[in-house]
Amino acid sequence: MSGTPETLFRLDGRAAIVTGASSGLGVAFARQLAAAGARVAVVARRTALLERTVADIEKDGGTALAVTADVRDPGQCRAAVARAHDRLEGLDILVNNAGVATAVPAVRETPDEFRAVVDLNLCGAYWMAQASAAVMPSGSSIINISSVLALTTAALPQAAYTASKAALLGLTRDLAQQWGPRRGIRVNAIAPGFVQTEMTDGYRPGYVETVITPRILLGRFGSAGEIASVGVWLASPAAGYVTGQTIVVDGGMTIT
């Protein structure tokens, strides 16, 4: 690896896909990748919100494309990747961010409820990775967004969510060992801690203050930008020797 910090962390000339980019962390990933120079395709089911993300990126001088797709459908994943690859003239980065969290007691969770979470959080990431790897050149980067709850618990009944996010870590390792030697594609995961997004707005009163914050060494939630900046690093030449790893960004929660 050679270069200066100004070049090693830049993504100029590269094309990226970010799934789940209609809200929350997905928007932050898309905006920061674009700010680092990447052309970005944002993928989700909510077209109007995708277009808002695109407008924000373009307002800041970036290049973005909205692609409406449901990542639970392998055919839609292949179509989304094909469109992004065509319109952005390549594909070098995939951020598998699309996901859903539920809190259902295990004795009451139905098979359909459990499968719905796994289908989106785990299977959707796999289908997008499959489609993307087929067209990515050597040197590309896939980043799977897992969760701190893949490594610890948070006093909520989240069997489906934690199982799906833990499975992403195994998927990350396996794809890294398959695609590193054969395709030159790096595959890593980020395990974010608690971040203030739409997903956390529904917590019951007092839960954060009494259960979560006391376990975070830094004493606060993280920001979407703090998570997304790790994604920019993993996508950049600065992380060119990093693959098969899970980067935990949790304010110290998992060591308490």
Q: Which CATH number does the domain housing residue 94 bear?
A: 3.40.50.720
Residue numbers of the domain that contains 239: 5-248
Would 255 be classed as within a structural domain? no
| Amino acid occupying residue 1 | M
pLDDT score recorded for residue 196: 79
What is the token pair recorded at 159? 């069997």
pLDDT score recorded for residue 155: 84
pLDDT score recorded for residue 4: 72
Q: Are 193 and 230 in contact, with CB atoms under 8 Å apart? A: no
Return the number of other C-beta atoms located less than 10 Å from residue 119's C-beta.
Answer: 18
pTM score, whole prediction: 0.95
Would 256 be classed as within a structural domain? no
pLDDT score recorded for residue 202: 65
Q: Please count the structural domains in the chain.
A: 1
pLDDT score recorded for residue 201: 66
CA atoms within 13 A on the CB side of 72: 10
Would 105 be classed as within a structural domain? yes
Q: Are 225 and 28 in contact, with CB atoms under 8 Å apart? A: yes
Would 29 be classed as within a structural domain? yes
* pLDDT tens per residue across all 256 residues of the chain: 567 777 899 999 999 999 999 999 999 999 999 999 999 999 999 999 999 999 999 999 999 999 999 999 999 999 999 999 999 999 999 999 999 999 999 999 999 999 999 999 999 999 999 999 999 999 999 999 999 999 999 888 999 999 999 999 999 999 999 999 999 999 999 999 999 776 666 677 778 788 889 999 999 999 999 999 999 999 999 999 999 999 999 999 999 8
What is the residue-wise DSSP string for 107-131? TT--HHHHHHHHIIIIIHHHHHHHH
Would 82 be classed as within a structural domain? yes
Would 253 be classed as within a structural domain? no
Residue 245 to residue 11: CA distance in whole angstroms? 21
The residues annotated as belonging to the active site are 161
Would 164 be classed as within a structural domain? yes
